[in-house]
Structure 1
Amino acid sequence: MRRADELRVWRDLQAAHANATPNLFSIGPASVIDLSRPCTVLGGRNGSGKSRLLRSIAASLGEAALYLDLHHLCEQALMVLRSLNNLAEMKDELGLIGPDDKRLDDVRRVVGRDYESVEWYALDVGPEGQEIAAKFRWGRDPDDDPLTPYFTVSYAGITYDALEMGLGEFSVHFLLWILEQFKDHKDLTLLLDEPDAYLPPVGVEGLLSRLLAICQKRGWRMLISTHSEEMIASAVDHDGFLLLRMGESGSTDAYHSEDDPTIADTLLARPPIERVLFVEDESAWYLCRALLDQGDRSLSKSTSLVWGGGNGFMTPLRTSLPRPPKAELAFAVVPDGDQRGKMSDRPIDGQWPLHFLPDTGDPDELFRTLKDDPVALAEALHVDSAELQRKLDELEGEDAHDWVNRLGDVYGRPHVLTVLAACWAQAHPDESVRFALMVRAGD
């Protein structure tokens, strides 16, 4: 799965569940969670109730839920494998069960190793104790033997097995192995308690996107708890994050990113600035920021924007700004879309790139198109729709720059520019993703 596909899988999954009937589950006296959502990422400080909530939902849904505390399952599986001294004979007797090409690609990408070979087995032995052994039956008949996974891989000319893997590598194989045991189950709610706990940050986004793709293909829904900043940021970008907090009375309170995109900020450290983009003016600054926020929030947080007084400074800047072989900061100039054909974005050795903003108009012209849906614009501005319609009638015939300026005079310029830019980017998600990918590729 390429990065563009990983960015798109959220939208595809949400579209597949767009008409789902809400299924509200009470979290506390004043908070609920909608279990019909295709994916919800749970975050919060330690003790906020993430694991407790997942267990409560699992108990409520019964066989319609698959609850996986991967940390505990890994511990139990490794204890079983360490107790066996005939692993080679056992796996040869049972035969290979996977992975197929799709799961092989998944495990390679998440682990970050281009394995030469991967072999998955299911050993008909489980942990001691009836309660934990029952979990290792993976939804099969209670009279069946529990199954414990065993893996062997070859990488860089070296062959090793599950007992020689790091915990992060083992947990990825184990999680995907478990999900294959349930591949024929339909209408399942997958409940994952910190499945990324052992993974380095580089593997977390790949893990989430692949879990989303599996859920989309199988018609599943997913709730996943995490402390991962990458996973939380991705969920916020797609209105899929739920922050849990312990209330004063000891109850759990929940806050959804769809209502407030800033709720996760206390859990996220601001990344260092990696690139600087030069834009034409203030409107371009707001549009560029909104495009990056919509298309790739992690890219937006590591990008600084600088605006000038038009595009006149851009060509001299691009030709004079040095580009050393290993620059600590990346730069680019970003003219408005109406400069297409007037300025060249052709790559030039030794120069930083040029990226056009979307479409063929300047940002104010793009913003003015939002007047065609005055009800949605009034809601976004938090003003009365009839009042806004009267103001739009007054502005009819104004050029785009005056239209934006006069709307800003009435409702506050920073607020108006923020809303107009965000609304345009949200209404054009594909353009936002393309722009973000273009900026990241130009570093």
Structure 2
Amino acid sequence: MTRRAEEDQVWKDLLEKVKGSGPRPTIVEGVEVDLAQPCTVLGGRNGAGKSRVLRSLASTMGEEALYLDLHHLCEQALIVLRSREDFSDMINEVDPVGPNEQRKEDTERVVARNYDAIRWFSFEVEPNDGKVAERFRWGGSTSLIPYFEVEHKGTTFSSRDMGLGEFSIHFLFWVLEQYRDVKGLTLLLDEPDAYLPPLGSSGLLVRLLQLCLSRDWSLVLSTHSTEMIERALEREAFVLLRVDESGAIEATRSKDDPGAADTLMSPAPIRNILFVEDESAWMLCTVLMEAGDRRLPPVSSVIWGKGAGYMVTLQEHFPRSPASMFSYSYVFDGDQRQHVKKSKTARWPALFLPTSQDPDELFVTNAQNVPELARRLNVPEHELSLFLDGKQGLDPHDWVNDLGVKYGRQKVLRVLAEMWVANHSAEAESWYADLTNAL
């Protein structure tokens, strides 16, 4: 099973598990967190209040939650580990505490190393700082410091020699094993991927979700990882935090605003290139993609020319390479259905905009509802009605052009496209299904 397929299955299993359970809203720092959800990902700029919300949740929930600010805990553990030279001798006197096969696989997948051997130890060593020592009790009465020893490609090394990313993952799964018999816990993680590369952070999320599923836990974590945020957006599990001028935290849920994470994401690389006939087709194609899945337009480039001729030439002579970095499609106007042949197997696919009419003909039908068109254009209804009365009988192309001259071409094209798509949802959904099949 691929990593993405594995992750999709985990999300599906989690959602099935909570189906039918009512919401459990908890409000901390003015932010509502639904603890009935299997996973909530908090994002935002530095200083947006992510850590504050997690600490407040931990304080409110008490023993029902486990709060881990992993980067801080790693630093404190390493201070202790590097302050003593006897840990390597101490392991000869005790048995390893893990990992079992599942935690070994989790660690290897996230760290991206196939170890020859992993041994985890727990030592009753108390940090000098009393507050730090309290954090290392892990629900018990004694402070426990982890010590790890691994073998990889013939070399043996310990916690003291590991990079922060590798050490943090061993440490995280070691801590979670201290709570393996606790059911119904809410795991609160503050930037657990802070030391990991992007691919590691994505792998970490799916492993954490699997663990939470097996133990009937829920997960709330903060992150700067675009990979984690993208996965959370797909499942409407992302919450954007920001601090307003008064210092209060504001929250925007991706469930309510799909663009909540736009300010945090790097521009996505273009993957799809779609050829269309003209500017009206360009706008209609763009709006149709937005209606189908708003994540598609940022990774797609729509190119318009002068009519269908150049697209037919490309269709006939542009080969389809299985190793291409891009996916190409020819999106002809609807009135070309009877004239354009289906692409050959070795060529990129051709499809058609909705109906058997061209986009300008579709746009003109919006004049049947002047009040809605006036509202969308933000112009007086009486003024628009008088203007359109003088345009009756015009060729649809000229009608669209004249309306664009009157109120601004780009504004008019977008309004006409959005209004048509909004009022023809069945045709829009059918077209999007054809597009996704083509891509």
TM-score (norm 1): 0.70
Contact 1:287 1:422 in 2 (8 A): no
Shift of 1:67: 0.3
Map of 2:10 onto structure 1: 9
In 1, the alpha carbon distance for the partners of 2:344 and 2:85 equals: 64
Shift of 1:28: 4.5
The 1:275/1:19 distance shift into structure 2, 3 A limit, reads same
In 2, the alpha carbon distance for the partners of 1:215 and 1:306 equals: 45
In 2, the alpha carbon distance for the partners of 1:43 and 1:154 equals: 36
Shift of 1:12: 2.6
Map of 1:210 onto structure 2: 207
Q: Give the match's secondary structure for 1:105.
A: helix
Matched residue type, 1:26: I
Larger of the two Rg values belongs to structure: 2
Gaps of 5+ in 2: 357-412
In 2, the alpha carbon distance for the partners of 1:235 and 1:56 equals: 22
The 1:33/1:116 distance shift into structure 2, 3 A limit, reads same
Shift of 1:47: 1.8
The 1:311/1:35 distance shift into structure 2, 3 A limit, reads farther
Query: Are positions 1:188 and 2:200 aligned together?
Result: no
In 1, the alpha carbon distance for the partners of 2:274 and 2:119 equals: 47
Contact 1:285 1:307 in 2 (8 A): no
Map of 1:93 onto structure 2: 93
Cα deviation per residue 1:235-271 (whole Å; 9 max; x = unaligned)? 1221111111212322212111111011211111213
Contact 1:196 1:228 in 2 (8 A): yes
Query: Are positions 1:56 and 2:56 aligned together?
Result: yes
Map of 1:331 onto structure 2: 327
Listed as ranges, the matches of 1:97-112 within 5 Å are 97-112=97-112
What fraction of aligned residue pairs are identical, expressed as a percent?
A: 45
Contact 1:27 1:254 in 2 (8 A): no
Query: Are positions 1:170 and 2:171 aligned together?
Result: no
Q: Which moved more, 1:253-262 or 1:152-161?
A: 152-161
Query: Are positions 1:139 and 2:135 aligned together?
Result: no
In 2, the alpha carbon distance for the partners of 1:332 and 1:196 equals: 36
The 1:362/1:412 distance shift into structure 2, 3 A limit, reads closer
Map of 1:121 onto structure 2: 121
Map of 1:395 onto structure 2: none
Contact 2:41 2:239 in 1 (8 A): yes
Matched residue type, 1:219: D
In 1, the alpha carbon distance for the partners of 2:427 and 2:78 equals: 49
Contact 1:21 1:36 in 2 (8 A): yes
2:235 to 235, 238, 244: 238
The 1:344/1:273 distance shift into structure 2, 3 A limit, reads closer
The 1:83/1:313 distance shift into structure 2, 3 A limit, reads same
Q: Give the match's secondary structure for 1:83.
A: coil
Shift of 1:129: 2.6
Cα deviation per residue 1:35-77 (whole Å; 9 max; x = unaligned)? 2222111112222211111111111111000000101110111
Contact 2:355 2:427 in 1 (8 A): no
Query: Are positions 1:154 and 2:158 aligned together?
Result: no
The 1:245/1:148 distance shift into structure 2, 3 A limit, reads same
Q: Which moved more, 1:276-285 or 1:70-79?
A: 276-285
Shift of 1:122: 1.6
In 1, the alpha carbon distance for the partners of 2:196 and 2:46 equals: 18
Contact 1:311 1:335 in 2 (8 A): no
Matched residue type, 1:128: N
Gaps of 5+ in 1: 366-408
In 1, the alpha carbon distance for the partners of 2:291 and 2:154 equals: 47
